[in-house]
Amino acid sequence: RLVYVLNGPNLNLLGKRQPEIYGRETLADVEADCLKAAAALGLQLRFHQSNREYELIDWIHEARETAGGIVINPGAFTHTSIAILDALNAFDGVVIEVHISNVHKREEFRHKSYVSLRADGVMAGFGTQGYTLALQRVARLLDQKT
């Protein structure tokens, strides 16, 4: 039961970038939390971050062959990337979209998500806890499939 946790642009700066919005936890902290949660849920993880759209797309393609689920915070690509939506549409497993901030409380341009057209569920405004909550949901949906 392999799950990809994918993070898009600027999330490498998590903990330093706009901490009043995104908090003080770093992406390394998030990865550690996810690894702990995954072990408890019987999931294996591949955790990646990139500022490049094509790398995220390549990891989604890789997940097609190997993974049952994808947890993805596409960063600003959420609001712009038909290419990431298309890649996720070519993936058969569970997809959960994560946003650390409550995007619906923010600027109008963050209210639209291409990725939500494919996601089985969306976490927004739960801070970095959203990632482990998303993993719980992936585990539940994978249990229901078997």
Interacting residue ranges for ligand DQA, rule: CB under 6 A: 10, 73, 75-76, 78, 99-101, 103, 110
On whether 12 is known to bind a ligand per the annotation, the reply is no
On whether 140 is known to bind a ligand per the annotation, the reply is no
| DSSP E strands, the chain | 2-7, 44-49, 69-73, 94-99, 121-124
Give the shortest CB-103-to-ligand DQA separation in angstroms: 5
Give the rounded distance of the alpha carbon of 109 from its chain centre: 19
| Cβ atoms of 64 and 99 closer than 8 Å | no
How many CB atoms are closer than 10 A to CB 65?
6
Tokens 């990865």 map to which residue?
31
Give catalytic status of residue 22 as yes or no.
yes
Give catalytic status of residue 99 as yes or no.
yes
Of 84, 146, 88, nearest in space to 118 by CA: 88
Nearer to ligand DQA, 5 or 100 (CB): 100
On whether 61 is known to bind a ligand per the annotation, the reply is no
Q: Among residues 4, 99, 114, 131, which one is catalytic?
A: 99
Nearer to ligand DQA, 10 or 129 (CB): 10
Q: Which residues are annotated as a binding site?
A: 73, 79, 86, 100-101, 110
Active-site residue list:
22, 99
> Known binding site for substrate: residues?
73, 79, 86, 100-101, 110
